[in-house]
Amino acid sequence: MYELLKTSPRSKARLGRLTISRGVIDTPVFMPVGTQASVKALDLRELNEIGTEILLGNTYHLFLRPGLDIIRKAGGLHRFMNWDKPILTDSGGFQVYSLAKIRKVRDDGVEFRSHLSGETLFLGPRESMAIQRELGSDIAMLFDECPPHGASDSDLQAAVKRTLDWAIVCAEQPRAEGQLYFGIVQGANAPALRKRCAEELVAMDFDGYAIGGVSVGEPEPEMMHAVEITEPHLPAGKARYAMGLGTPAQLIELVARGVDMFDCVLPTRVARNGTAYTSRGAINLRASHQKENFGPIEEGCDCFACTHHTRAYLRHMLKAGEILGLRMLSVHNSHFFMQVMRDIRRHLANGTFDDYRDEFIANYQPTSKVIEGRANSRLKVQG
């Protein structure tokens, strides 16, 4: 369970610890996205080397492929992928709404066509929690309805009602041994809806709470506002999770707003486009001026990519279409996100988080609107 260890004097930032059956997770924490039971381009050794404490898997994708029969025969998701640390599984609700070719929302769930085979399938609160029970994840997210940015008031109200109705059904479902259930607060940027959704979920006494319906295409100020109007209604003694976020600068700002847990596809997604994150901002290693740069991606970084390869060499790998290039950028970016979390926790413990926040934000330059914008549009196929 969650233990609040320390708070920041000038913000809502929290240092904490989440204890579950497979281990202790120090928060704030970043969870690499392993949608298909794999974090793209990284192996388990690399995930351990960068300090990964918990991974994210996806109910929808794993249900479709390889399917529950295979995972059941393997002995659960942990054994299937040979990962002995905690796993959080998304409910699959977001993917049903974003990926399904055709879908029909009903009061008991959603009928949809698989984006892979076109087969008609059904996913509701009972089905989602049953799948997550079979997967054996340590944290299972409740099945919710995530309306798109710009949805009408009536659609938002209907989504909140379904989310709450489905939460009651989810709570009644049996769990895997030691499995925690996290509720998801919806309501877009409507304070009254967010308040209602949060308060009713909190009354159901789940193990933790997520802020959903963010990073779905809205501008960054609206995303921050959604977090700000939700956080006051969440209990201090439970973990708080902002789903699908964000860039390094956004993570720090969200920590300052009281969020404990994060996941995002950006570290590996942008690596495949030749982009690397640094404390000064995102850089393009495909750029011609990197051709004769024989320094590391970032001075002082102790990741494998920075201690073994130069920018010039990695640019050559990328331009030549060698897999090593995108793998090494994935290693560096993932390490960088983990290092930001370690720095946040260290400064929270020392009482210097707010100074760290000010300095990081002042120095961090989002050099590409294309790269930074990706965090404000939650990607359909994650990873």
* Residue showing tokens 């390869």: 309
Catalytic residue among 138, 144, 260, 263: 263
- Cis-peptide into 208, omega within 30 deg: no
Instruction: Tell me the C-alpha distance between 73 and 368, whole Å.
Output: 45
User: What are the tokens at 350?
Assistant: 């020392």
CB burial of residue 118 (10 Å; 0-12, 13-18, 19+): exposed
Which parts of 83-179 are beta strand (E)?
87-90, 103-106, 109-113, 120-123, 139-141
Catalytic residue among 26, 90, 108, 358: 90
Catalytic residue flag (residue 263): yes
Specify whether the backbone of 112 is left (phi greater than 0), alpha (psi in -120 to 50) or beta.
Answer: beta
CB 270 within 8 A of CB 248: no
Catalytic residue flag (residue 358): no
Q: Residue 276: beta bridge partners?
A: 283
Active site residues: 90, 263
